[in-house]
Amino acid sequence: MSNEGLDFWAVFPTHIPSNGAFAQMSIYITATKASRGNVLIGSAAIPFTVSANQIVEIPIPYDLANIADSDGNKVLSDKSIHIVVDTGQPKVAVFALISAQARSEAYLVLPTEVMGQRYYAMSEASPTVAGFNGISGKPYIIVIATEDNTDITLKNNNGIDVSVHLSKKGDMYEFLDVKDVTGTLIQTNGCQKFAAFSGHSGIAIQGNSADPLIQQLYPLESWGKTYGIIPFIDRNYYYKIIAAENNTKISIDGVQTASLNAGEVYVPAALPLTTPYLVTANLPISIAQFAYSQSSLSASSAPVTGDPDMVILNPEEYNIKQITLFASFVRTVQEFYLNVFMKTSGVSTFKINGVPANAIWKQMGSNPAYSYAQIPYSNSTSLTLSADEGFNAMAYGFGNVESYAYSAGTNLAVSNFLKLTNVNANVTGDDGCIGQPLTVKVILPGAAKTLNWKFEDASLNKTVTNPVATITTSAEGILQYEYVYPGRVTYGTLGTHRVTLNADLEAGLNPCTSGNVTYTYDFEIVQPEIFLPDVVKILPGGVTNIKGSTKNLNLTYKWSPQTGLSDPSIINPNVSTTHDQLYTLTATSDLGCITTAEVLVQVVDSFDIPNTFSPNGDGINDVWNLQLLNTYLNSLVEVFNRNGEKVFSSIGYANPFDGNYQGKALPVGTYYYIITPRNGKQNKTGPLTIIR
C-alpha cells in the first residue's frame, strides 16, 4: 500500500528554540490527481485544495498544535493534526516540516490504513543537547490514537516501562526522557491501530551545533530484509539497525556482521561512514541513517554545511514507482539532494518530472544487481519521481548548521487490500480503467466463512457463503487469503469509487483479524489524458513537429498511420507528408487504460512573406513573421542592407529576425532578403522595410 491515502495523523513535537526563534510547522500535501480536504486540529479546520502533481502548504498554528516541554508525559487532547481528504476525492501524499532558526526537520506522514499495533522507537542520545530557558533537548516517543479506548505500552530493557490510556480518537501522549529511547517496543494491548513517532527535541552529534530529530515510525509489518544505505553526499554518516525478532542475522555487503534479538540495536563500531552499504537480514529489520553536527560532518578536508539528522530508510521490498514530493522549503538550506536506490535493470527508466534524470548511477560493490545515485537539484517546489521498476528515494538538504531529510515515499504492508485486474489487458493494479471490465479481488488476513460484497451500484451486491480462497504466503511468512468477486464490474465515471466488504473470518493466529470485520476499499477509475493540436500545417517537402503533451507518466504511444513520422512510439514525433493526412495517436497506461486523439497534418502550397515589420516593442508585428518557414529545417534566410552587408542569417527559422544587428537596433529603411529553401524549391527574394 502506497504512502498515499485519505486519512493521516501528524504531530508538532517538542522543539527547543534556537536564539529564541520558536518553531514553525507546515503540512505539505501533494497528489497525482487534483484533490481537496481539511487539516483538523481540535475544533479548528483548515481546508486545502491541491492540483495534480503540485503541492500545497498548510501552516500549522503553533499555539494549537505544538507540544511544550511541560506537556511531556501527559495525555493531550485536541493537539494532534488530522489530515482528511473529502469523500470521493483522490488520495494524497503528506509530508511535514518543522523549522526554526537553524533548527529544522522533516518527515513523511503515513496514512491511517497502513498503521499497525507494534512499533520500535528510533532516536539518539548525546551529552550535548540544545537548551532554552533552562529546558534541554530530550529523546521522545509520541503516540496518537486513531480509535477510541486505545491502551499502549512503552517498554525496553533500559528501564522504560510506561502504560498509556487514550480514551478517544486523536488523543496523544509524548514520552520524554534523557536516555536514548531507541529499541523501545511500542504496542497496543488490544486491536486498535495507532500512529507512532520518535526523535529528539534538540541534539548535537559529535559537535556543538544541534538540530531536532523526528520520524513517523513504520509498523513491524512494513519492515524489510534488504536495504541500500547511501551516504549523504560529501558527508559523514552512521546508521542504526533494530531487530523485531530473536536470532535476526544481519549481513553487511554479504558478510554476516551481527546477530540481534528483538529490540536490540546494531551500530557499526568504526565510525564515521562515508561509503554505501547493502544490508540484508534473515528476518525483517528497521534502519535509520544519521548525520553529524556540522563540525564532524565533512567526509574530506573540505568544509561542508549541515547538522544532525535522522531518516528511517525504506526496504527494497516496499519500493515505489511514482511519487510527487515537496522538494525544498527551508530558506537557510542551499544544497538539495536526492539519494535513489533501485535495481540496476531499472535505472534507465528513472525520471524526474517526466524527463530522464541527469544522474550518475553506480553499482553497489557487493551486489551489482543494485545501483544508486546521489542527485543534486536546484531549489524547487515539487518533484515527481517515476520509474518502470520500483525505487527507494530520500530527499534531503543542508545549510549552515541546518539540515532536513525524509523518505520521498514508500509502499507499506497491510493485512488486507483490494486489487483490480483489467480483463482486456490482463494487468492488475490498485486502480481501474474507465469503460473496461474489471475483476475485483481482495486479500484478507484470514479464511472467510462469508463475504458480503457491496458496490455503489447495488445491483452488483452479492453474498457468498463458504467462498474459495487462493492461499499465498507474504514476504514476511504471513498467510494471505485471496478472494475474487464472482463477476465483472465496469465503471463509466472517472474518480474515486468504493467497495465495502463485510467478512466473517475464522479465528486465526491474530485475534484482531477474526469474527465479523468490515473493510472499505477506495480506488480510482482513471483514463490517460493526451493533448494534440487540431491542425498542424506544413509546407510541401517540409518537416514539422507534432507538439503533443500529457500530464500522465509511463504511457506508451502508437501512431496510425506511421508513414511520414520520425518515431511512431513517442507523443511528439516529427512529421513530413506530401498530402493532407489525419493521424491518430493511441496512448496506453501501465494499467492498460487506453485513450486516443487525432491531429490533421495539412500541406500548404505556399507561405506569405511580409514586406514590412515594426520592431518597436509594442508587442505587435515586432518580428519578421515567416509562418511555416520553420518546416524547412535547412532553409537559409539572409537579410542585407542597401550596401550589401548581411545583417541577418539563419539556418531554419526557429528564431525570427527582430530588426537588430550585433545587439543594436537597425535603422528604419528598406532591406533585401534571400530565402533559399535548400530542398529543390525555388528561392524567394524581395524587399523588406523596417518601420518603428
Residue 300, number of CB atoms within 10 A of its CB: 10
Distances (CA, A) of 10 to 36, 139, 200, 214: 18, 18, 16, 11
Q: Tell me, what's the pLDDT at 322?
A: 85
Percent of the chain with pLDDT over 90: 73
- Ranges of beta strands (E only) in 300-347 are 309-312, 320-326, 333-343
- The SS3 assignment for 63 reads helix
Q: Tell me, what's the pLDDT at 330?
A: 63
Residue 468's Cβ-count burial label (10 Å; 0-12, 13-18, 19+) is exposed
Provide the mean pLDDT of the chain: 92
- 8 Å CB contact between 461 and 453: yes
Q: Report residue 522's pLDDT band, with 50, 70 and 90 as the boundaries.
A: confident
Residue type, 403: S
Angle at Cα 96 formed by Cα 28 and Cα 415, nearest 5°? 100
The mean pLDDT of 268-275, rounded to a whole number, is 96
The mean pLDDT of 616-625, rounded to a whole number, is 92
- Ranges of beta strands (E only) in 562-662 are 574-575, 581-588, 594-603, 612-613, 636-640, 646-651, 660-661
Q: Report residue 640's pLDDT band, with 50, 70 and 90 as the boundaries.
A: very high
Distances (CA, A) of 487 to 112, 439, 440, 490: 30, 7, 8, 10
- 8 Å CB contact between 659 and 613: yes
**271 pLDDT exceeds 80?**
yes
Residue type, 258: A
Residue type, 332: T
Q: Tell me, what's the pLDDT at 596?
A: 96
Q: Tell me, what's the pLDDT at 1?
A: 63
Q: Residue-wise over 14-33: b if at least 16 C-beta within 10 A, else e?
A: bbbbbeeeebbbbbbbbbbb
Of residues 446 and 173, more confidently modeled: 173
Q: Tell me, what's the pLDDT at 33?
A: 84
**179 pLDDT exceeds 80?**
yes
Alpha carbon 398 to its chain's center? 20
The mean pLDDT of 141-169, rounded to a whole number, is 95
- Determine which of 21-30, 154-163, 297-306, 469-478 has the lowest per-residue pLDDT on average: 469-478
- 555: its cell numbers: 504511457
The mean pLDDT of 619-642, rounded to a whole number, is 90
DSSP one-letter string for 467-501: ---EEEE-TTS-EEEEEE-SS-B---S-EEEEEEE
Interatomic CA distance for residues 145 and 193, integer angstroms: 7
Q: Tell me, what's the pLDDT at 18?
A: 83
- The SS3 assignment for 612 reads strand
Of residues 291 and 617, more confidently modeled: 291
3-state helix, strand, coil in the chain (%, to 5): 5, 50, 45
**509 pLDDT exceeds 60?**
no
Residue type, 364: M
Among 26, 44, 67, 7, smallest CA distance to 195 is for: 7
- 578: its cell numbers: 506530401
Q: Report residue 329's pLDDT band, with 50, 70 and 90 as the boundaries.
A: low
Q: Is the dihedral angle over the CA atoms 93, 98, 101, 103 positive or is it negative?
A: negative
Max avg pLDDT among 317-321, 398-402, 616-620, 686-690: 686-690
Q: Tell me, what's the pLDDT at 641?
A: 96
Q: Report residue 425's pLDDT band, with 50, 70 and 90 as the boundaries.
A: very high
Structure confidence by residue, pLDDT tens digits, 222-246? 899 999 999 999 999 999 999 999 9
The mean pLDDT of 493-500, rounded to a whole number, is 91
Q: Tell me, what's the pLDDT at 113?
A: 87
- Determine which of 2-6, 396-400, 409-413, 573-577 has the lowest per-residue pLDDT on average: 409-413
Interatomic CA distance for residues 310 and 319, integer angstroms: 20
Among 282, 283, 253, 257, smallest CA distance to 268 is for: 257
**256 pLDDT exceeds 80?**
yes
**133 pLDDT exceeds 60?**
yes
Residue/partner pairs of 655-659 with CB below 8 Å, 24 or more apart? 656/623, 656/624, 656/625, 656/626, 657/623, 657/624, 658/615, 658/622, 658/623, 658/624, 659/613, 659/615, 659/622, 659/623, 659/624, 659/690
Contacts of 452 by beta carbon, 8 Å cutoff, 6+ apart: 461, 462, 463, 464, 501, 502, 503
Alpha-helix runs per DSSP H in 332-484: none
Q: Report residue 606's pLDDT band, with 50, 70 and 90 as the boundaries.
A: confident
The mean pLDDT of 52-61, rounded to a whole number, is 90
Interatomic CA distance for residues 64 and 238, integer angstroms: 35
Q: Report residue 379's pLDDT band, with 50, 70 and 90 as the boundaries.
A: low
Q: Tell me, what's the pLDDT at 634?
A: 86
Q: Tell me, what's the pLDDT at 666?
A: 96
Q: Tell me, what's the pLDDT at 409?
A: 84
For the whole model, what pTM was predicted?
0.79
Residue type, 377: Y
The mean pLDDT of 386-394, rounded to a whole number, is 92
